[in-house]
Amino acid sequence: MPGRRPWSVPLAVLLVLLGIFATGAGLGRTAGPFDRVLGEQHSEDPTGVPVLAASRPVSLSVPSIRVTAPVAPVGQAPDGTIDVPPLDRHGETGWYDRAPTPGEPGRAIIVGHVDSKDGPSVFYELARTKPGDRVEVARSDGSVAVFAVDSVEHFAKDNLPADRVYGDSGTPELRLITCGGQWVGGRTGYRDNVIAFASLVETRRA
């Protein structure tokens, strides 16, 4: 990806999602009980795909970019941004635990580092995903929520579309988020965020 920094330059620890919480506060919510009855479903969305009840995501697979990674809950960082996994676990992704779980109505959010001081991280190739690419999220209740990428877009960190990223109602969707664009250093790190927007297309048993 253009603008990647040399590995020797210190890495910004957070994905700085400036402005999101100022305009999007109240859209997210803590998921509550994660593990419900196996196979429990709310209803079907307009496409006929079953909508799932809450269940914590445990692993993520994006075959088109050869990513298979664990998922752990993350909350808010002290500055109010979405936190990310610690740098010593930069191969792990983080599900934002104030948003829906993947497969529930609304927009689930999974974040990951683009790189570290040692080299590429879990979402290094996220910008290369294309519409139609599949994202499979295994959940703790034994179900798998399968999403198809709709678009992959870059946004300046101070100009993110909160109304497209957050929401706990509507059809089940997924947002994969990492850093991108030019490395500017300081508290900002990379100038942009890369977001893959995806929609639920299938649910199945693991």
Has residue 69 been placed in a domain? Answer: yes
Q: Output the six-digit token pair for 198.
A: 């995806």
Query: Could you tell me which residue, 11 or 57, shows the higher pLDDT?
Result: 57
* Window from 21-25, 67-71, 114-118 with minimum mean pLDDT: 21-25
Residue-by-residue DSSP string for 83-141: P---GGGTTSEEEETTSPPTTSSEEEEEE--SEETTEE-TTTTGGG--TT-EEEEEETT
* CATH number of the domain to which 101 belongs: 2.40.260.10
pLDDT of 176 over the 70 cut: yes
pLDDT in tens, 111-126: 999 998 889 999 999 9
Domain count, the chain: 1
Residue 47 confidence (pLDDT): 67
- What's the mean pLDDT in 41-52? 70
pLDDT in tens, 138-167: 999 999 999 999 999 999 988 889 999 999
**Separation of alpha carbons 71 and 92, rounded Å:** 6
Q: Is the pTM of this model over 0.85?
A: no
Has residue 106 been placed in a domain? Answer: yes
Has residue 118 been placed in a domain? Answer: yes
Domain containing 173 equals 20-28+55-205
Q: Report how far apart the first and last C-alpha atoms of the chain are (Å, whole number).
A: 33
Has residue 12 been placed in a domain? Answer: no
Query: Could you tell me which residue, 189 or 179, shows the higher pLDDT?
Result: 179
pLDDT of 56 over the 60 cut: yes
- Provide, rounded to the nearest whole percent, the portion of the chain with pLDDT above 90: 61
Has residue 153 been placed in a domain? Answer: yes
Highest mean pLDDT among 20-24, 80-84, 136-140, 160-164: 136-140
Residue 78 confidence (pLDDT): 85
Q: What is the mean pLDDT of the chain?
A: 80
pLDDT of 3 over the 90 cut: no
Distance set, CA 92 to CA 1, 68, 106, 152, 167 (Å)? 20, 9, 23, 21, 24
User: What torsion do the CA atoms of 78, 83, 88, 92 make, to the nearest 10 degrees?
Assistant: 160
Residue 101 confidence (pLDDT): 98
Contact between 193 and 19 (Cβ < 8 Å): no
Has residue 4 been placed in a domain? Answer: no
Has residue 35 been placed in a domain? Answer: no
Has residue 142 been placed in a domain? Answer: yes
Residue 48 confidence (pLDDT): 78
Contact between 100 and 168 (Cβ < 8 Å): yes
* Window from 91-100, 143-152, 180-189 with minimum mean pLDDT: 180-189
